[in-house]
Amino acid sequence: MNRPLVGTLATAVLGAAALVGTAGTAGATTHPGKAAQTQEQAQQQAHRLVAKAPSLGKSKGKHKTKAVDFAGTVALSNCSGSIVKMPTSQENDPALVMSNGHCLEEGMPGAGEVVVDKPSSRSFTVLDANAGDLGTIKATKIAYATMTDTDVSLYETGSTYAEIEQKYKIKPLELATEHPAQGAGISVVSGYWKKIYSCNIDGFVHTLKEGDWTWKDSVRYTPECKTIGGTSGSPVVDTTSGKVAAINNTGNESGEECTVNNPCEVDENGKVTVRKGINYAQQTYGIPKCFGVGNKLDLSAEGCELPKPSAARR
């Protein structure tokens, strides 16, 4: 996984970043994704990152692209995320923050586990268009989280969209409601690293397997998106529509097959393919069908296909 950065490792990364003049936030954990493996690698990584200015996402196609910046994104203590709205969300609804399921403050959900309506007081750093820190908003609960079929967490916050816009002049990102297209230009916007990765959708994976977890119809990036630990939870923005098409979550780091931090692709016939250095995201177009009036989760709504908690976990 694009792992979150925690403990002494996060301190080492941020310390290295500070030495070269950056003010990034902490963040990346150890999960199906990516993270610095050693303190030395973390320091080298920080130097490489701050040496590069964020690039704006542009697709390679003929469609007119939208400039992509950091407005609407947030930094978590260990990952990236974004303030998101559904097509039906209203300005006075409680704002939602989206990240990965493997970025939960309590640790990664097990295979088959679904978390709903769990109290949380997690804080999120709100960024402006240029990745400057504006302040924080705080969660009231984990509305939904899982690493089954997808890798997502959605926090309900104590602030409305209107309150966030009034205080920080920031609007939320909107979730797309249609399946993304192969070849589409995308930008992976990391609030943790304050960096934008730009590439295209290379294709879709029937089943992506990593350790105990499996994800369905995952997005595979073209090689240009070399996401790293701390980018977990970054919104994947379609550069034509400007809407969120997916959520960044993992990549194969060392060429191993189906192990943690080394996901493998499994096709409809069970054939396994390993793509070392290639990164992935989970689609989000189905999520809006699971939220109703007032941004309230409704897993029984028509068309909602998010995994449901077992009776024992309700």
Tens digit of each residue's pLDDT (9 = 90 or more) over 146-195: 999 999 999 999 999 999 999 999 999 999 999 999 999 999 999 999 99
Q: How confident is the model at residue 310 (pLDDT cuts 50, 70, 90)?
A: confident
Output 44 or 198, whichever has higher pLDDT: 198
pLDDT reading at 260 higher than 50: yes
DSSP letter for each residue of 43-91: HHHHHHHHTS-------SSSSPPPP--STTEEE-SSSEEEEEE-TT--T
In a domain, 196, yes or no: no
SS3 134: strand
* Cβ pair 78, 26 in contact under 8 A: yes
In a domain, 105, yes or no: yes
Q: How many residues does the chain have?
A: 314
* Cβ pair 57, 196 in contact under 8 A: yes
Number of domains in the chain: 1
SS3 189: strand
Tell me the average pLDDT across 22-48.
Answer: 37
In a domain, 82, yes or no: yes
The encoded tokens of residue 93 equal 């609804």
- Name the helix (H) or strand (E) containing 138: strand 133-146
Tell me the average pLDDT across 15-31.
Answer: 35
Task: Give residue 65's pLDDT.
Answer: 83
Q: What average pLDDT does the chain have?
A: 85
* Cβ pair 295, 94 in contact under 8 A: yes
In a domain, 162, yes or no: yes
DSSP letter for each residue of 193-251: TTEEEEEEEEEEEEEEEETTEEEEEEEEE-TT----TT-TT-EEEETTT-SEEEEEEEE
In a domain, 233, yes or no: no
The strand pairing partners of 29, in sequence order, are none
pLDDT reading at 113 higher than 50: yes
In a domain, 222, yes or no: no
Task: Give residue 17's pLDDT.
Answer: 37
Task: Give residue 53's pLDDT.
Answer: 35
The encoded tokens of residue 39 equal 């303190």
Spatial separation of the C-alpha atoms in residues 77 and 75, rounded to whole Å: 7
Spatial separation of the C-alpha atoms in residues 157 and 121, rounded to whole Å: 9
In a domain, 5, yes or no: no
Tell me which residue range forms the domain holding 152: 73-174+290-313
For 58-104, the pLDDT digits (tens) are 334 455 788 899 999 999 999 999 999 999 999 999 999 999 999 99
Q: How confident is the model at residue 1 (pLDDT cuts 50, 70, 90)?
A: confident
Per-position b or e across 232-253, b if 16+ CB within 10 A of its CB: bbbbbbbbbbbbbbbbbbbbbb
CATH number at residue 296: 2.40.10
In a domain, 188, yes or no: no
pLDDT reading at 283 higher than 50: yes
